[in-house]
Structure 1
């Protein structure tokens, strides 16, 4: 407890200077700027006074996509006719300061989109969802057209993947000011540098890829001698040229458009920087804390807000270790992941290389990517006691728990009004490989803005040349008080996971989540399944059995004097808690989705908050009416029921 209080008090010293150092130059994956941050991380983690027990780099040869530095991508606009007229297209974002003038600022592009020179009529396709193209196709001939879509509603790559079957030959993607700027459009006084809103020329870069990890070495670590599939077998990337643009250019486009895209793929050496504090009692049990290091440009918010927090946590903990004041019960591994922006590559390759060891020994994974979006709390699955100890920014009387309850709460049938904890159901950051592929209990911690005061889907400078220290320090977190709160929260959580005699997991809370999913499934699917002679009763029974097993284990823990129990018994209970998420893995559940094996938290195309495999299969069957699709819905129901029942059995004593 004393060591945790020390972390709560000591965290802050280097947060602003960390951010300044990390954002001096653009550091896109595998560039010279990225190597600079690799060396900086190693220097910090190998510091003799505040460093870790050991720090090193691990390298992977991965397939990335870049624009041609000599021939920039272009969008030419004009009207039909023998002469045509050229319209303006800004190849780089408008310069408001020295950060945008840096020669290493990469031009906006869609990573993994193919090169090409399509020319055709422009068609507005909303968000590029399947329903959008289906609607357009009812009244328009889409063959040979170029679609312009806005971000949101569908994944980046999927906007182009959905378009291609209709004969669309190119796709443009822009950020609509209604979705990101609350409608504000003028850089005279409404947008950056006057406020946090995106300037008209701002362009959101990104990886246009539906999978994660290295595309040429699925399920294999991308080393020199690793088998690689051919480029032709890569799936999940745009089949047609695609380019992101700013809303300034989107509004100028008329009638006919030509795209000149010169993207090219390269196999490049990308590094993870790893560090460890060795555990004193259970060194073979790992608590892993990760953040990605690479950015599209300067990346002050994404990811350097999280990198700054991780460096501050390691500074405080490293100093405590060096001074002999603290050493964790379990080992703590820190990962500074490379090439996340291209598809979570560094963390995915790490989990592939060390699959067996991590599966057997990992207690939990803590992810801090964008640590601060703004000024209100949103966090991962954290114990109430942790949140009560940490104070909210700008207040010595209000805890993070109180603030979370105020802005983002839900009603629990067990606890009443509690903080609303989101689920890690997609592949939005580096937690993906840990929870979906390995089944390691994971959390993602961040501080966000008050969403009742803005409709922005994310902070407006996201993935643009304006995500700089100037932007972050003026509009995201002046004074770095929210960074401090995240660092204290993350450090507190890490130490509890690493030091607690009994792991701070509650199986009954898991049961409550399953029951909420079940209630939605019963509401949506019972009648439709029954029409096809498929009973949902096995799922109801499995969830009921899990609830009973979870309650029994939790009660046994409460009744036990664990401090006086044998180490073997404590270790056994901890193993039950640690391995619970592994029990929900099924490698046959999602054969078409790389790295998704968790039947509860996998990604889903369905809009309903319920079991992903069942939801997707049911919606597909209801739409098609095909017998084979209803058979797949039945299969998903069965494997889900058996996974939940199997997980319940792991909570029982021995046999």
Structure 2
């Protein structure tokens, strides 16, 4: 039948395919009689997706290094723009001008008790065709490290996160005036030098321990997928929990003539020098450390006894950077809507990489291009999106979400009027669906996942994920997988290009991909290559097709839904869970404080103290107060009623006049804006969203109800009370928006 399709009209195709999907399940936003034709066009969309196209695109676009400022970065952007044009889109390059420092001097050397100079190189491999382009590759470094020339004793600080420094304090170890050595893992890399500097360290070195992504996990590259002894993880250490994007233009677009801070006064640039090294270069440093043996949980997989120091290892760290402004090329492609051209369905992925970037980001970027090509084929048969579809390939994501953030900051007012949703992907692999995003889209995403087939198991990607939760999930996740209709999606913190859309502009967003069966240690190294990807990741590109099928459906359903598929009961349930978690945290803190104070009173700490060390009696802890959660509970009760009323009303909705339908959809897609606050979060006003934000000390990791949760964690009770009031007011305004929708439907 498909061989005949080019000769048939769009209407004839739908008539032929309708019997296949006549028993289809409901789709949010579509009348029951319209579901068969929607599913039919989705089947036709699937027929245009070709795994071989993804393979060819990935090979071409990963052939040379394409970091910000590289010639191939612009070449890839122009190539993608021209592809979009050939697919029938209006396409252009939008350019921002962003700070992107690159290293001039990198030195790490052990000067006592022995001599050793780190190689700081990743050698070419004959099994990896692109790895030999050494002159074009960015070396291993951390963008936005401070310049510095420091020499000091070394201290091993485990992952270098706040909890680790609490352990060091209990051991009587101070890092002030020292250089710290931290492992990658357990937080975003930029948190490690930030916390080190706050504790008085003058330099920071971060290495990849083989326990996390090296030989402890499996055979190393090129025999296996995992990081070999020379592999090092480049990356940004921009203080993104403060604000992402160009550090010199905080809160406004980095246009060519924009006013700029100097790099020495930019608050998101690190205050101490920091550099990544391989575990081959880290081994002599760790061997030279003395002092106490590290706690069991701190020990890695290298063949040595892990000591903490300080000393006798003494290290010289010298870094100098070229602080230059470079153009960042965002590829923007537009397919105008036939009925609602000023309602934008946005879909994006970034195209820049630290080196070759086959996995990160091109495995996602090529799916974007193939989606767009398939949509272009549908347009040729007569299909038209009702709403405008905007595809974007962002530049300068790797240094700190620079391309997308500057684009959003420059166009924030227009986006808040027109953007319906932003759908993001980044790297893609093989295995299970993962999704995070606005919980007003949770039911929508579940329906999309229900209708996409897993290429390995021949069941839906939703059913495969549910099976995994039933087998491997935590007890609560297992219970919900058995009893809850919809699978939960995660909350968004930071780490990819959705951040400026949801966190700053209040645009409902999703981040979607596949993974879990594609382990490896190539991340941000020269070995993130076509050869590595096609051997160890999505080797036949079937999950690239699955990503295109998933996101393509999301785009088409959003573009052509009669009533936009936002839903509020799942959101309400999720925020109720977040509130319960915070209350449980308070109860646990109160119990721990009471127990500690009782032990102090009974002098029990003396019994477990090391008799070889001076004993210092711990002080009693201040009482944990009872916070007034009544405003939040009342707001959630109001929201629960409004959400239930909307679900009932939309299910019963019959024919709605065009004028009321336009009003309703505008209420729905602007609802996420009501979850923001103009003042943002305390001490970081760029982050406006009151439900989701990256943690101040987690980086990528999300903090839900962040103003309340982080104030409690920091025992700032006054701010916690103010946070309860602010979040409650936010939810009341959000519920009032839903009530406007209810009034129209009723």
Contact 2:432 2:461 in 1 (8 A): no
Q: Deviations over 1:425-484 (max 9, x none)?
A: x1110000011011111001100114xxx9x6xx42111111101111110011111111
1:62 correspondence with 2:132:
no
1:192 correspondence with 2:221:
yes
Q: Which residue of 1 aligns with 2:231?
A: 202
1:592 correspondence with 2:683:
yes
Contact 1:288 1:334 in 2 (8 A): yes
Contact 2:65 2:354 in 1 (8 A): yes
Q: Deviations over 1:316-361 (max 9, x none)?
A: 112222x142110100011111100011011111111111110011
Contact 2:343 2:419 in 1 (8 A): yes
Shift of 1:587: 2.4
The counterpart of 2:628, out of the listed 500, 525, 535, is 535
Q: CA, structure 1 residues 606+158, in 2 after alignment: closer, same or farther (shift >3 Å)?
A: closer
Counterpart-to-counterpart distance in 1, 2:449 and 2:361? 23
Gaps of 5+ in 2: 1-37, 289-312, 437-441, 471-476, 591-622
Q: Which residue of 2 aligns with 1:624?
A: none
Contact 2:82 2:91 in 1 (8 A): no
1:133 correspondence with 2:162:
no
Contact 1:115 1:264 in 2 (8 A): no
CA RMSD of aligned residues (A): 2.3
Q: Which residue of 1 aligns with 2:445?
A: 383
Counterpart-to-counterpart distance in 2, 1:295 and 1:238? 21
Contact 1:517 1:609 in 2 (8 A): no
Q: Which residue of 2 aligns with 1:349?
A: 406
Counterpart-to-counterpart distance in 2, 1:117 and 1:215? 23
Contact 1:520 1:610 in 2 (8 A): no
| 3-state DSSP of counterpart to 1:419 | coil
Q: Which residue of 2 aligns with 1:421?
A: 489
Contact 2:208 2:278 in 1 (8 A): yes
Q: Structure 1 length normalisation: TM-score?
A: 0.91
Counterpart-to-counterpart distance in 2, 1:439 and 1:523? 29
Structure 1 residues 191-590: aligned runs within 5 Å: 191-211=220-240, 212-253=244-285, 254=288, 255-321=313-379, 323-372=380-429, 374-380=430-436, 381=442, 382-395=444-457, 397-408=458-469, 410=477, 411-412=479-480, 416=484, 418-424=486-492, 426-450=493-517, 459-525=520-586, 532=625, 534-561=627-654, 564-590=655-681
Shift of 1:263: 2.1
Counterpart-to-counterpart distance in 2, 1:276 and 1:534? 50
| 3-state DSSP of counterpart to 2:96 | strand
Counterpart-to-counterpart distance in 2, 1:114 and 1:518? 39
Counterpart-to-counterpart distance in 2, 1:413 and 1:474? 33
| 3-state DSSP of counterpart to 1:617 | helix
The counterpart of 2:712, out of the listed 618, 621, 637, is 618
Contact 2:148 2:318 in 1 (8 A): yes
- Of structures 1 and 2, the larger Rg is shown by 2
Gaps of 5+ in 1: 622-628
Counterpart-to-counterpart distance in 1, 2:682 and 2:64? 41
Aligned pairs, number: 623
Counterpart-to-counterpart distance in 2, 1:509 and 1:122? 49
Counterpart-to-counterpart distance in 2, 1:28 and 1:568? 48
Greater displacement, 575-584 / 639-648: 575-584
Q: CA, structure 1 residues 266+465, in 2 after alignment: closer, same or farther (shift >3 Å)?
A: same
Contact 2:143 2:399 in 1 (8 A): yes
Counterpart-to-counterpart distance in 2, 1:415 and 1:648? 27
Q: CA, structure 1 residues 115+641, in 2 after alignment: closer, same or farther (shift >3 Å)?
A: same
1:19 correspondence with 2:81:
no
Shift of 1:612: 1.5
Counterpart-to-counterpart distance in 1, 2:233 and 2:453? 34
Q: Structure 2 length normalisation: TM-score?
A: 0.80
Contact 1:589 1:639 in 2 (8 A): no
Shift of 1:527: 9.2
